[in-house]
Structure 1
Amino acid sequence: MIDVRSLTKRYGSTVAVDGLSFEVRRGQVTGFLGPNGAGKSTTMRMILGLDRPSEGTALIDGTPYGELRNPLRKVGALLDAKAVHGGRSARDHLLCLAQSNGIPASRVAEVLALTGLTAVARRRAGGFSLGMSQRLGIAAALLGDPEILLFDEPVNGLDPEGILWIRTLMRDLAAEGRAVFVSSHLMSEMAQTADHLVVIGRGRLIADTGVDEFIGRSSQAYVRVRAPRLPELARVLGGNGGPNGAGTRVEVSLHGDHLRVTGMGAEAVGEAAAGAGLALHELTPVAPSLEAAYMELTQDSAEYTGARA
């Protein structure tokens, strides 16, 4: 387990990470989300002992990474796919890591096969594409058969087949009881891969929750309604702030051949229409996507935003 407590990192007057506390548990994929500049990479570097915290702790099963006796057997990580000696072959790069960590040389062939690099094992890593470099970085992370894995943007440069492969790999690793901690900007991938989310913005924790619970926080859920008398139905639904005068704020908007209704559930919409004698052709609850929930909940935490056209 990764246990982060009150983790803080300052660079002069700049606070990159501000009092973060969370856990990454075994048996699940934990997605690490946040806008550019939120402090995700800095947090991962502190977990791996590459940066020293200004305050707080980051422990691996109760031990700082720097005090682990055989770190690659405990923790595997991919932070920078290009952090490889360009003159070495993929095989030699992995063999050096194996020899320096007491890992059998036979494991090198296993991870090369697992990551699809056997055919290019003797090619120089400096000539690899970004996607191939990502696979080599993942092979290095898996080399010690570790219990805990950290991946920073692992799908960068991968083609669709590669993205499906890494998604399946992370799910399989978690199913084996390992802790998998992965940062990504691809919300569609996180929606299909992660069990749990840690979301930060401006170095601070925004959410530490399951994927479904995080999406449920979004106000962008709505009910799609099609009916032959849309204008009249819109007046009925938005007329009194909610069914039975409950005071719930209801918003109704027309989108071509249907209405979008927020603030009122599908059952309440159906009852209101029935009470007004209005027929319905469609009544569909639409849940927000992870991307929509993420954009809504982090909109005030983005460091870099472009102007709208």
Structure 2
Amino acid sequence: MIELRELTKRYEDKTAVDSLSFAIRPGQVTGFLGPNGAGKSTTMRLILGLDRPTGGQVLVDGRSYAQLPAPLTHIGSLLEASAAQGGRTARDHLLWLARSNRIPDRRVDQVLAAVGLQDVARKRSGGFSLGMGQRLGIAAALLGDPPVLMFDEPVNGLDPEGILWIRNLMKGLAAEGRTVFVSSHLMSEMALTADHLVVIGRGRLLADVPMEEFIDRNARSYVRIRTPQPQALLDALDSRGITAVRAPDGSWEVEGSDPAAIAALAGAGGVVLEELSPQRASLEEAFMRMTADAVEYHADATPNGVRPAADRTGSATTTTGATS
């Protein structure tokens, strides 16, 4: 388990991590979400002792990272796929990690096979593709067979087969009772992988809840209805105090009502239904709603991110050449 207790990190006048307190528990995949600049990478670095906290503490199975003997046997991590020294072969990279943590040499070949790199084990990692580098980083995380694993953007650079593989790997590790903590910007992938979510914004904790609860709390869900008899539908719903709102595509939307109850009302009123379907918001929609006030970097929505000169100066101008 990983525990954060009032964890804080300041860089001069900027607070990157602001009194974070939460626990990452075994037996589930915990997703770590937040907008760019939210403090996710800093938090992960603090967990691994790569940065010194300004205040508070973080514990891995009850101890700080610096207190762990042979730390790779306690927590494995993937933060940067490019962390391997490019002049070393994949096998040599893992071999020095293993020997520095008193891990048997035979484990190196086991993890290389587990991530599908056995055929390139003796090739220099500097020539690896991004996806191969990710696999090597995952092999390093698995090297000590640790009970706690932490991954930052683990599917970056992987092909569809690789994405499915890492998804199943993380779920399998959690099913074994391990603690799995994963950060990603791919909401669709996180929705398929994570059981629990920790969300931060501007360094502060915004949510620490199960996936389903997060979506239910922060997204709109409704029932979509299509019918050739809209007035009869509205009358039937109104008889029970149910309000339907017309959608731009011609369908009707009802919030806070059960599809079965709507079907029963329609049937009793002789209303023909062409569609009656519950619509549940995605993780992406829920995330955007939750973090709307915590986004630090906003992109310009104008084409190419550049406003016309008239918008910038108050009058239209003609320019030539390039500006910097």
Q: For residue 48 of structure 1, report the CA deviation from its aligned partner.
A: 0.6
Distance 1:285 1:253 in 2: 16
Q: Secondary structure at the match of 1:87?
A: coil
Alignment CA distance shift 1:234-1:37 (3 Å): farther
Distance 1:24 1:76 in 2: 14
Alignment CA distance shift 1:251-1:292 (3 Å): farther
The corresponding residue for 1:256 is 249
Q: For residue 218 of structure 1, report the CA deviation from its aligned partner.
A: 2.7
Alignment CA distance shift 1:7-1:271 (3 Å): same
Distance 2:241 2:225 in 1: 20
Q: For residue 97 of structure 1, report the CA deviation from its aligned partner.
A: 0.5
Counterpart contact for 1:253–1:261, Cα < 8 Å: no
Q: Secondary structure at the match of 1:217?
A: helix
Alignment CA distance shift 1:287-1:129 (3 Å): same
The corresponding residue for 1:296 is 289
Q: For residue 258 of structure 1, report the CA deviation from its aligned partner.
A: 2.0
Q: What amino acid is aligned across from residue 144 of structure 2 in structure 1?
A: G
Q: For residue 234 of structure 1, report the CA deviation from its aligned partner.
A: 5.3
Distance 2:25 2:228 in 1: 51
Distance 2:297 2:256 in 1: 31
Distance 1:261 1:85 in 2: 57
The corresponding residue for 2:15 is 15
Q: Which moved more, 1:259-268 or 1:13-22?
A: 259-268
Counterpart contact for 2:218–2:290, Cα < 8 Å: yes
The corresponding residue for 2:150 is 150
The corresponding residue for 2:309 is none
Distance 2:183 2:293 in 1: 20
The corresponding residue for 1:80 is 80
The corresponding residue for 1:37 is 37
User: For structure 1, which runs of at least 5 residues remain unmatched after alignment?
Assistant: none
**Alignment length (residue pairs):** 302
Alignment CA distance shift 1:10-1:103 (3 Å): same
Counterpart contact for 2:219–2:285, Cα < 8 Å: no
Q: What amino acid is aligned across from residue 256 of structure 1 in structure 2?
A: D
Distance 1:182 1:208 in 2: 14
Distance 2:268 2:293 in 1: 41
1:102 and 2:95 equivalent?
A: no
The corresponding residue for 2:223 is 223
Alignment CA distance shift 1:231-1:159 (3 Å): farther
Alignment CA distance shift 1:300-1:97 (3 Å): same
The corresponding residue for 1:287 is 280
Q: Secondary structure at the match of 2:247?
A: strand
The corresponding residue for 1:211 is 211
Distance 1:87 1:55 in 2: 38
Q: Which moved more, 1:19-28 or 1:255-264?
A: 255-264
Q: Which moved more, 1:59-68 or 1:214-223?
A: 214-223
Q: For residue 151 of structure 1, report the CA deviation from its aligned partner.
A: 0.3
Q: For residue 255 of structure 1, report the CA deviation from its aligned partner.
A: 3.9
**CA deviation string 1:6-48 (max 9, x = no partner):** 1111111111111111111111111101111111010000011
RMSD of aligned Cα (Å): 2.0
Q: Which has the larger radius of gyration?
A: 2
Q: What amino acid is aligned across from residue 50 of structure 1 in structure 2?
A: L
Counterpart contact for 2:244–2:252, Cα < 8 Å: no
Q: For residue 293 of structure 1, report the CA deviation from its aligned partner.
A: 1.1
The corresponding residue for 1:182 is 182
Q: For residue 251 of structure 1, report the CA deviation from its aligned partner.
A: 6.2
Alignment CA distance shift 1:137-1:213 (3 Å): same
**CA deviation string 1:182-238 (max 9, x = no partner):** 00111111111111110111111111011111111134211110111236645875x
The corresponding residue for 2:311 is none
Distance 1:234 1:126 in 2: 65
Q: Which moved more, 1:25-34 or 1:265-274?
A: 265-274
Q: For residue 120 of structure 1, report the CA deviation from its aligned partner.
A: 0.6
1:172 and 2:208 equivalent?
A: no
Question: How does the TM-score come out when normalised to structure 1?
Answer: 0.91
Q: Which moved more, 1:122-131 or 1:268-277?
A: 268-277
Indicate the percent of aligned positions where both proteins have the same amino acid: 61
Q: For residue 285 of structure 1, report the CA deviation from its aligned partner.
A: 1.3
Distance 1:277 1:307 in 2: 51
Counterpart contact for 2:234–2:244, Cα < 8 Å: no
Distance 2:217 2:158 in 1: 31
Distance 1:5 1:235 in 2: 56
Counterpart contact for 1:230–1:258, Cα < 8 Å: no
Q: Which moved more, 1:15-24 or 1:299-308?
A: 299-308
Q: Secondary structure at the match of 2:81?
A: coil
**CA deviation string 1:242-268 (max 9, x = no partner):** x448xxxx5613243522233444355
Q: For residue 307 of structure 1, report the CA deviation from its aligned partner.
A: 3.4
